[in-house]
Structure 1
Amino acid sequence: SLTSDWDLANYAAPSWLPRFEELDTTNMLLRQRIIFLGSQIDDMTADYVISQLLLLASEDQKKDIKLFINSPGGSVTAGMGIYDAMKLCKADVSTICMGLAASMGAFLLASGSKGKRFCMPNSRVMIHQPLGTAGGK
């Protein structure tokens, strides 16, 4: 019958099919101790990067962690959370700009371990004065 052919409870994938997690580029990069920050920095992005930093720091305190950055910047508080996690790591955090590191992205690029901050030949870095407002009477 047709329903017996679609019984997914008893379905087993062929052994020659790779598992989904092995096809996930983020997991493949993480296994090489590479974190990719490729978006605006907000609370969700920061949580993701911080959790990856903490995971890699707990696995091996001596091997470098590489943080690739292509970000237009974003939230100061979220970025400072990433900065604090970078400084918490006993392993050196190497920062590499690919594309753009602007605003908070540039701050994180400059926060890499001494001697391990890099920019690709066609990348751009933009740093500006902090913005703020004051109100009152």
Structure 2
Amino acid sequence: MALFDKPGRHPLITDTYLMSHSPTDFPGSIAPPSPSNYIYPTVIETEGRNERQYDIFSRLLKDRIIFLGSEVNDQVANVIIAQFLFLQMSDPKKDIHFYINSPGGSVTAGLAIYDTMQFVTCDVNTYCIGICASMGAVLLASGTKGKRFALPNSDIMIHQVSGGARGTASDVERTVDFMYKLKRRLNRILAHHCGKTPEVIERDADRDNYMSAEEAAAYGLVDKVLQSNRELPPITTA
């Protein structure tokens, strides 16, 4: 996981966001960025004589479903956070369902999402579909205890903070010091949610550590491997 979204904001060469994506990829929509040749489906609902059109992600939000399907950066984090806050204001007692298929990304952006997940009073159900790596794994593990799930063929990966530094020797030294602080902070977060010690997390995350859904459940990153949504309680709408 990289430290920051934009290298120009700090003497770090850490921007892992796909530069082919532009902020104009999803104006006025909660849809994540996508290649220009990909078309998101539109959902049309009829109520009497009226028709309403939603992009698919806005329609999912109506059922309290948030979807993270990209790398984590500041722009994506802001959209995810806004959805959490909206659902909290809509009904602070109903569960939020957070589906994650992400290779990770910016630590600072990811921690902003993490803090929001802990801030809202709603229970947050997390689901790994595809892969939850790096910061994606942290967000997966930080759901409400007993409500963290992985689909059977998904993969989860944890590792330590990565980044780079440039500038004066003092700048590099301070950046390295900050990286170690972030590493210890993330180790404490994972330890808290996985029921392990920070020392165990530091050892196990020293290199890329890939786990199957079953292995992640045994490790404490998720609570259950789901075979079907029939195993879940009915989703309540906003």
Counterpart CA distance in 2 for 1:69 and 1:19 is: 27
Task: Give the equivalent residue in structure 1 for 2:52.
Answer: 19
Task: Give the equivalent residue in structure 2 for 1:5.
Answer: none
User: Is 1:57 aligned to 2:55, yes or no?
Assistant: no
Using the size of structure 2 for normalisation, the TM-score is 0.48
Q: 1:74 aligns with which of 99, 105, 123?
A: 105
What pairs with 1:24-35 in structure 2 (closer than 5 Å)? Answer: 24-35=55-66
Counterpart CA distance in 1 for 2:61 and 2:164 is: 39
Q: Deviation digits for residues 47-95 of structure 1, max 9, x if unmatched?
A: 0000000000111111100000000000000000000110111010110
Provide the secondary structure at the position in 1 that maps to 2:51: coil
| Larger radius of gyration between Structure 1 and Structure 2 | 1
Task: Give the equivalent residue in structure 1 for 2:229.
Answer: none
One-letter amino acid of the structure 2 residue matched with residue 49 of structure 1: I
Task: Give the equivalent residue in structure 2 for 1:4.
Answer: none
User: Is 1:89 aligned to 2:120, yes or no?
Assistant: yes
Using the size of structure 1 for normalisation, the TM-score is 0.82
| Identity across matched positions, percent | 55
Provide the secondary structure at the position in 2 that maps to 1:85: helix
Gaps of 5+ in 2: 1-47, 166-171, 174-238
Counterpart CA distance in 2 for 1:51 and 1:122 is: 30
Task: Give the equivalent residue in structure 1 for 2:152.
Answer: 121
Provide the secondary structure at the position in 2 that maps to 1:20: strand
Counterpart CA distance in 2 for 1:119 and 1:55 is: 25
Distance 1:100 1:17, change over 3 A: same
Task: Give the equivalent residue in structure 2 for 1:7.
Answer: none
Q: 2:75 aligns with which of 36, 44, 56?
A: 44
Q: Deviation digits for residues 12-34 of structure 1, max 9, x if unmatched?
A: xxx9673323xx21121001100
Q: Deviation digits for residues 111-133 of structure 1, max 9, x if unmatched?
A: 00111110000100000122355
Counterpart CA distance in 2 for 1:72 and 1:131 is: 14
- What is the count of residue pairs matched by the alignment? 120
Counterpart CA distance in 2 for 1:45 and 1:111 is: 18
Gaps of 5+ in 1: 1-14
